[in-house]
Every structure is written in structure tokens, then in C-alpha cells.
């Protein structure tokens, strides 16, 4: 595995791969890698000839009161995991390398951002979209891999790819979970033991809500059930629970279309998100390969 820190080095090595006729798979991350990231790398390794992983904590997607400085980092562990997963190129730029000067152009996302996490994190997805445009242009990958736990992000990225005609295919991979159902996340380390025990309720409640939705129960009744479960069974505060069309993320859902059931719960030092993507009449389909 080659580890590089400059844009020029990435472009040189990916150009060499393309000239050799290799397909390039790309996994963009903010580091502190866990089994969820490993699953993305594994799939990229299975489907592509040359795998690139980026580790960059992007300041543009953090709000003024959010945890950019406190975001967990473990560079040595990240490198070891990427090596174990057979990554060919690990890109670890500094903020100065990615943003050497004040940007004259940034990306502003208009749709799919006024719900779920985007509703309370104004400007967050503008930062995500801006850095991804840069990374897509730097790496020039054929396929890019995201986890379905961040389903709103994946929906925004799909819109970005389509609207800007970026020649890359988005592969959406199944959420990796602990044995009790808790979605793997870098922020799980901030949970107290009591909160960690309670956190498994997010997935259990989502599963119950999906079952009720597919049985024909109305959205308002399901939402009331979820709110009561979180309030009575955890010390966390429900930030949101929403049922929306997917990937358009609109409140009007048709009987036969895919929908997302998404939840966010704020614990003392960690805000956890989770979701299920289902068809109204079918079983849950969390392992979707493409948006």
C-alpha cells in the first residue's frame, strides 16, 4: 500500500492505473476507521482493480458548535486497517493541501437537505458536496463506495453525481452493525456504558416501525410509537424520526415506492443516526447495491 499526502501524487498514481486499463474504486472517509469502513474497502477490492481510500476530516462540513477538533482520529490504526483490507493507495491530505486558499467557488445543495440531519445542520451538506467534487476530480474513480447508514449523504451524493455529470458510479453498501443491532460509528466511543446498552434500541425500534408501515399502519401512529420508545427506554433525546421517499427524501410517499425510516438520538456526548430503507409492501432491503 502506498501512502500519499499530496494531490499531485494521487493524480500521478491513479493516472498510471487508468493507463493500465484498471478500474478504480474509491472510498472517501474521515478516518477513525471501523468495520463499516472495512466493509466498503472489501467490496471495492472485490469489484475494482485499484482501490483508493482517502482520510480527511473536512472542516467545511462542521458547524460552529460541532466537533471538528474533537472528532476522533487514530492515524496509525487507520493505516493498519487499510493495509489489511488490501488498499492500493491511501490519501491523507492536510487541510492546507485540500484548501490552500480561500475558495472562490463552493457547492450549494438545494434539495434533499431540508430534512433529517440536514434540517439541523445548515450548510453541512454544502461542505460534503464541495469536498467530494474535489476528491472526485482528484481521484477520477470509476466507482465510489458509501455506507447506507449515512443514507441522506448518499442521496445527496447521487444528486451531485447526476447534476454535474460526474463519471462515477455510486455503490451503496449495507450498514455494518454490532451483534445487538447498533450501527457501527466512529462516535460510538463517546457513549457511556449505560448509553451503549440503550443505543441498540434505535435499530430495534426502526425494525418495529418498518414492520408496522408495511402492515399499513399510518405514519403518525408509527412516529408516536417511536417517540414513546426513545423517551421511556433511553436517556437520550429524540432529534428526529421521519419516513420519507428515497432517494428523493420527500414527505409524500406512494404505496409502492422505496422509503427510508430514519432516526437520530442525542445522548450526552454523541448523536447517533440510523435508518432502514424499505419498500412499502416488501421486506426491508438494507443491502441495496445502488441508489
Known binding-site residue numbers for ATP? 30-37, 147-150, 176, 184-187
Q: What does the alpha-carbon distance between residue 277 and residue 244 come to, in Å, rounded to a whole number?
A: 10
Q: What does the alpha-carbon distance between residue 130 and residue 109 come to, in Å, rounded to a whole number?
A: 9
In contact, 189 and 70? CB cutoff 8 Å: no
Going by the DSSP 8-state scheme, the letter that residue 179 receives in this structure is T
Q: What does the alpha-carbon distance between residue 186 and residue 211 come to, in Å, rounded to a whole number?
A: 29
170 has which bridge partners? 144
Rounded-to-5 percentages of helix, strand, coil across the chain: 40, 20, 40
Phi, psi of 262 (to 5 degrees): -125, 145
Output the nine-digit C-alpha cell for 95.
487541510
Q: Give binding residues as ranges.
A: 30-37, 61, 147-150, 153, 176, 184-187
Q: What does the alpha-carbon distance between residue 222 and residue 210 come to, in Å, rounded to a whole number?
A: 9
Q: Give binding residues for (R)-pantoate as ranges.
A: 61, 153
Q: Give binding residues for beta-alanine as ranges.
A: 61
Catalytic residues: 37
Q: Is 14 left (phi over 0), alpha (psi -120 to 50) or beta?
A: alpha
Q: How many CA atoms lie within 13 A of 237 on its CB side?
A: 5
Q: What does the alpha-carbon distance between residue 124 and residue 101 come to, in Å, rounded to a whole number?
A: 20
Amino acid at each position: 500500500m502506498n501512502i500519499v499526502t499530496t494531490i499531485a501524487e494521487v493524480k500521478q498514481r491513479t493516472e498510471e492505473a487508468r493507463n493500465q486499463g484498471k478500474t478504480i474504486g474509491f472510498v472517501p472517509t474521515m478516518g477513525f476507521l471501523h468495520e463499516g469502513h472495512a466493509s466498503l474497502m472489501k467490496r471495492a477490492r472485490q469489484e475494482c482493480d485499484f482501490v483508493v481510500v482517502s482520510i480527511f476530516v473536512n472542516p467545511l462540513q462542521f458547524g460552529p458548535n460541532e466537533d471538528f477538533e474533537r472528532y476522533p482520529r487514530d492515524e496509525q490504526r487507520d493505516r493498519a486497517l487499510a493495509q489489511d483490507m488490501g488498499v492500493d493507495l491511501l490519501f491523507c491530505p492536510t487541510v492546507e493541501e485540500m484548501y490552500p486558499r480561500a475558495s472562490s467557488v463552493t457547492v450549494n445543495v438545494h434539495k434533499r437537505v431540508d430534512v433529517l440531519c440536514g434540517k439541523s445542520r445548515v450548510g453541512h451538506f454544502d461542505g460534503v458536496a464541495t469536498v467530494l467534487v474535489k476528491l472526485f476530480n482528484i481521484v477520477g474513480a470509476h466507482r465510489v463506495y458509501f455506507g447506507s447508514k449515512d443514507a441522506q449523504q448518499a442521496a445527496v451524493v447521487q444528486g451531485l453525481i447526476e447534476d454535474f455529470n460526474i463519471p462515477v458510479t455510486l455503490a451503496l453498501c449495507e450498514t455494518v452493525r454490532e451483534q445487538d443491532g447498533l450501527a457501527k460509528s466512529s462516535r460510538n466511543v463517546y457513549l457511556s456504558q449505560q448509553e451503549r446498552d440503550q443505543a441498540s434500541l434505535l435499530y430495534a425500534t426502526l425494525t418495529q416501525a418498518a414492520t408496522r408501515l408495511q402492515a399499513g399502519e399510518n405514519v403518525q401512529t408509527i412516529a408516536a410509537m417511536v417517540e414513546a420508545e426513545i423517551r421511556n427506554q433511553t436517556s437520550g433525546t429524540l432529534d428526529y424520526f421521519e419516513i420519507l421517499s428515497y432517494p428523493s427524501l420527500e414527505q409524500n410517499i406512494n404505496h409502492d415506492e422505496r422509503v427510508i425510516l430514519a432516526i437520530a438520538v442525542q445522548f450526552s456526548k454523541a448523536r447517533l443516526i440510523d435508518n432502514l430503507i424499505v419498500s412499502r409492501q416488501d421486506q426491508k432491503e438494507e443491502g441495496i447495491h445502488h441508489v
